[in-house]
């Protein structure tokens, strides 16, 4: 049978529909009555507060004016005493101080009285204060004002120089001699604390306050923890007066405490001061709120009474709807259970709100049915979800596409504490969840705490790609790379050069330096040298393979600059060394060839010089009278010399051929003469051989 909603079940019958309509009508009337009455009470309280604050403000304006007029008259009365002026004219400061003492002791508002000469020097003072006696007050604004106006003035609040440097208000008046010349100025000082105590006795209510402001709108006296501190409230006063000098109170923030209050301000026209009266709005509305709550309770009692009448009416009608009543009771129990869970979760939310308000996390709670009872944290913004938006929604429906999250919540509702890292849309999240237990240890829900790990995942992926690229480079570069830490343990063993040592990549990680197959007999000393911070390299021949290796030693530094280990990079330079040796040999051969060519050129030049001499002398000899036989011999000598010169030139041509500088030329010659000269050159040798 299909279960109908509990309200529709109850109002299906005409009699019950009539009663339901009556019940809701009465409830609506009660609510409207409470709302109208509450608004009326608050309006009445507001009007009364405005009126009372305005009256107190105006009354206090008159009282403050009379109070300070009394102080001014009090000061002027002493200034007009004949004996006092006579003492001042005679500079009898002892008797003048007696008059000052009478002034201080005769009026509780006077804290200090003193007399300054026309130049501003303090010459008489009570109570006595060595730090003040003799000081010059000509720089003070009040002294300048009274000296200029030659009439009684009331100063703005200022801080005295004497310890403990209190804030005071000065009242000064000139004293004239019998000849009309100013003898000096009589001044009284009133501490702000004294004015605060005086104003506090006249506050309008237990929590109300009366504040005095001087003609510069400096806070002169107030009941707070900041007594004695001068505050400029010019902007606040301008706002409260509305620019038109209105004295009617209004509801606004207290200028000092910033608490919603009823504030009235009035001006003491004669002195230019203002009286500020405040009453906290909470105090004003307290009685109206209490009455509203009372009426609300009465309305609730009416509702309860109507419920009882409904039950009696149903019983009188003899209509027993046991099943529906049981369903209603069960629904009520479930609602109470939900309300209790919601209350408990709300308390948790209040305690945690200050912690998670600005944290980049997500904190959620669900009940045993998977309904969100709490959802907060800045991490929700990454999914476009506002804090509290998920409350009341079913987690398994809202996030049905995120299987890992749904599985995590199900496991926590079964009593497990689990952690998942999953991807939602384009972002990664690390989520932790645990069950929520009541006082009896029964699972009533689960709490889920998570934060965005997209940045970390992206960094890990980039690091993995970079590591793979680095490892690929290291495995394919024609070098071997080792890294050892401060304990001389190998942490990296990579490079294509490991194959030449019969090792695999990473095979030596974890070995000590003495166990590494570096091929260096003095590896320990070289690493210790690098540990001291020195970077260096050397070329060594490996005894095991006979290969030449160029090895670099580099210290590994931390972010703080500390040495954390040593990096050893070994590169096979055997081919480079062999090429260098071949290059040296080639250069040596080229140098030898150059020297040989230079030698042949020099020798040919040295030999050619005497041969030319022989040929020349033979020519001279042939020009003399010779016998035919002698002439033939002379011709043979000349021909042999020319042949020898040709040979020497041919040697020079061979040198040019080696240098790649041989030039061919065409020349005319006598073949018959060449053959005769050749025969003659070898004829003597043939005769000797025969």
3-class SS of residue 414: coil
How confident is the model at residue 3, as a pLDDT?
Answer: 45
Q: Residues 445, 490: one domain?
A: no
pLDDT in tens, 147-165: 888 888 888 777 777 767 6
User: What's the rounded Cα separation, in Å, for the pair 617 and 597?
Assistant: 30
Domain membership of residue 527 (yes or no) is yes
Q: Residues 613, 662: one domain?
A: yes
Domain membership of residue 461 (yes or no) is no
Q: Residues 115, 254: one domain?
A: yes
Q: Residues 115, 186: one domain?
A: yes
Q: Residues 65, 97: one domain?
A: yes
Q: Residues 509, 623: one domain?
A: no
- Domain extent at residue 681: 587-689
Last residue of a domain, one of 533, 548, 572: 572
Last residue of a domain, one of 510, 542, 572: 572
Q: What is the CATH number of the domain that holds 290?
A: 3.30.450.20
Q: Residues 413, 479: one domain?
A: no
- The residues, ordered by sequence, that sit 6+ positions from 52 with a Cβ below 8 Å of its Cβ are 204, 279
How confident is the model at residue 326, as a pLDDT?
Answer: 67
- Beta-strand pair 167-176/182-191: antiparallel
Identify whether the C-beta of residue 564 lies closer than 8 Å to the C-beta of residue 558: yes
Last residue of a domain, one of 293, 320, 347: 320
CA 311 and chain centroid, separation: 65
Domain membership of residue 333 (yes or no) is no
User: How many domains, in total, are found in the chain?
Assistant: 4
Q: Residues 344, 400: one domain?
A: yes
How confident is the model at residue 71, as a pLDDT?
Answer: 84
User: What's the rounded Cα separation, in Å, for the pair 395 and 404?
Assistant: 12
Domain membership of residue 120 (yes or no) is yes
Q: Residues 382, 261: one domain?
A: no
How confident is the model at residue 545, as a pLDDT?
Answer: 61
> Tokens at residue 665, please?
């030329």
Domain membership of residue 564 (yes or no) is yes
Q: Residues 558, 492: one domain?
A: yes
Output the pTM of the full model.
0.36
Q: Residues 597, 565: one domain?
A: no
Q: What are the mean pLDDT values of the chain's consecutive 10-residue runs (690 residues total)? A: 47 55 71 77 76 74 77 87 86 88 86 89 88 86 88 81 74 87 88 66 67 67 43 60 57 74 72 74 74 76 70 58 66 83 77 68 84 80 78 85 85 86 78 86 86 78 76 68 83 74 75 71 79 81 66 83 83 74 80 73 72 82 84 82 79 66 70 75 65
Give me the DSSP letters along 244-291. Answer: TT----EEEE-TTT--EEEEEEEEETTTTEEEEEEEEHHHHSHHHHHH
Region of 270 on the Ramachandran plot (φ > 0 left; ψ -120 to 50 alpha; else beta) = alpha
β partners of residue 553: 536, 568
User: What's the rounded Cα separation, in Å, for the pair 26 and 21?
Assistant: 9
Domain membership of residue 459 (yes or no) is no
Domain membership of residue 331 (yes or no) is no
How confident is the model at residue 451, as a pLDDT?
Answer: 72
Domain membership of residue 580 (yes or no) is no
Burial of 51 (0-12, 13-18, 19+ CB in 10 A): middle
Angle at 418 between CA 417 and CA 423, to 5 degrees: 150
Q: Residues 53, 161: one domain?
A: yes
Q: What is the CATH number of the domain that holds 612?
A: 1.10.287.130
User: What's the rounded Cα separation, in Å, for the pair 419 and 408?
Assistant: 7
């Amino acid at each position: 049978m299909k279960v109908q909603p509990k309200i529709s079940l109850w109002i299906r019958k005409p009699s019950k529909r009539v009663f339901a309509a009556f019940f809701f009508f009465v409830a609506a009337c009660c609510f409207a009555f409470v709302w109208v009455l509450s608004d009326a009470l608050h309006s009445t309280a507001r009007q009364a507060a405005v009126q009372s604050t305005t009256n107190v403000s105006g009354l206090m304006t008159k009282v403050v004016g009379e109070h300070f007029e009394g102080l001014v008259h009090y000061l002027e009365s002493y200034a007009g005493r004949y004996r006092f002026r006579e003492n001042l004219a005679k500079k009898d400061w002892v008797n003048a101080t007696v008059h000052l003492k009478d002034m201080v002791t005769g009026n509780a508002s006077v804290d200090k009285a003193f007399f300054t000469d026309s130049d501003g020097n303090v010459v008489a003072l009570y109570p006595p204060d060595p730090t003040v006696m003799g000081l010059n007050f000509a720089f003070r604004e009040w002294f300048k004002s009274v000296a200029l106006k030659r009439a009684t003035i009331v100063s703005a609040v200022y801080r005295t120089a004497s310890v403990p440097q209190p804030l005071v208000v000065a009242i000064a008046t000139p004293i004239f001699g019998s000849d009309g010349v100013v003898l000096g100025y009589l001044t009284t000082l009133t501490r702000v604390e004294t004015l605060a105590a005086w104003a506090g006795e006249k506050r309008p209510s237990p929590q109300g306050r009366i504040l005095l402001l001087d003609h510069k709108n400096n806070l002169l006296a107030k009941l707070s923890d900041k007594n004695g501190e001068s505050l400029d409230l010019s902007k606040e006063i301008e706002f409260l007066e509305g620019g038109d000098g209105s004295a009617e109170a209004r509801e606004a923030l207290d200028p000092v405490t910033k608490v919603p209050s009823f504030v009235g301000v009035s001006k003491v026209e004669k002195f230019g001061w203002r009286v500020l009266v405040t009453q906290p709005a909470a105090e004003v509305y307290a009685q109206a709120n209490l009455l509203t709550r009372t009426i609300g309770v009465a309305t609730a009692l009416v509702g309860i009474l109507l419920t009882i009448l409904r039950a009696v009416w149903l019983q009188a009608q003899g209509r027993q709807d046991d099943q529906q009543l049981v369903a209603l009771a069960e629904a009520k129990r479930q609602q109470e259970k939900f309300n209790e869970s919601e209350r408990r979760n709300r308390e948790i939310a209040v305690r945690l709100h200050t912690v998670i308000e600005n944290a980049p996390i997500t904190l959620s709670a669900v009940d045993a049915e998977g309904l969100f009872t709490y959802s907060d944290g800045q991490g929700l913004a990454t999914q476009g979800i506002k804090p509290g938006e998920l409350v009341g929604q079913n987690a398994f429906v809202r996030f049905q596409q995120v299987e890992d999250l749904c599985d995590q919540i199900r496991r926590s509702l079964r009593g497990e504490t689990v952690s998942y890292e999953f991807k939602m849309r384009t972002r990664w999240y690390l989520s932790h969840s645990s069950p929520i237990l009541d006082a009896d240890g029964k699972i009533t829900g689960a709490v889920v705490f998570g934060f965005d790990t997209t940045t970390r995942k992206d960094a890990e992926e980039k690091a993995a790609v970079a590591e793979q690229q680095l490892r690929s480079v290291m495995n394919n570069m024609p070098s071997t790379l080792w890294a050892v830490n401060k304990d001389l343990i190998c942490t990296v063993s990579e490079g294509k050069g490991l194959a030449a040592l019969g090792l695999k990549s990473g095979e030596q990680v974890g070995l000590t330096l003495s166990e590494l197959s570096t091929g260096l007999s003095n590896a320990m000393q070289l690493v210790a040298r690098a540990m001291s911070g020195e970077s260096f390299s050397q070329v060594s021949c490996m005894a095991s393979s006979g290969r030449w290796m160029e090895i670099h030693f580099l210290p590994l530094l931390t972010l703080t600059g500390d040495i954390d280990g040593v990096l050893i990079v070994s590169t096979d330079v055997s081919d480079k060394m062999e090429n260098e040796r071949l290059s040296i040999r080639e250069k040596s051969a080229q140098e030898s060839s150059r020297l040989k060519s230079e030698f042949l050129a020099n020798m040919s030049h040295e030999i050619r010089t005497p041969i030319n001499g022989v040929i020349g002398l033979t020519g001279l000899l042939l020009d003399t009278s010779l016998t035919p036989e002698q002439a033939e011999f002379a011709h043979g000598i000349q021909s042999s010399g020319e042949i020898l010169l040709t040979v020497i030139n041919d040697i020079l041509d061979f040198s040019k051929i080696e240098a790649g500088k041989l030039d061919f030329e065409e020349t005319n010659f006598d073949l018959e003469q060449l053959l005769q000269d050749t025969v003659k050159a070898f004829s003597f040798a043939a005769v000797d051989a025969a």
